[in-house]
Amino acid sequence: NCSCQVAPAELESVLLSHPLIVDAAVIPVEDEETGQIPMAYVVRAAGSELSEDQVIQFVAGQ
């Protein structure tokens, strides 16, 4: 797990660069260990079977 600090807008930009994601929003959520972690809400393209794990792998690879 990365304890990197990344702005929500930056994460949204990465998410929106995925061809199967049509909309995304990232908000901070309280976390006991780190203080806050990002929570992403993603709208997949119609008919897409994009999984949560695939989204996480995509973001981690950027």
pLDDT tens digits for 8-56?
Answer: 999 999 999 999 999 999 999 999 998 889 999 999 999 999 999 999 9
What are the structural domains, with CATH classification, of the chain? 8-60 (3.30.300.30)
φ/ψ bin of 33: left (φ > 0), alpha (ψ from -120 to 50), beta (otherwise): alpha
pTM exceeds 0.75, yes or no:
yes
Q: Where are the alpha helices (DSSP H) in 1-62?
A: 8-16, 52-60
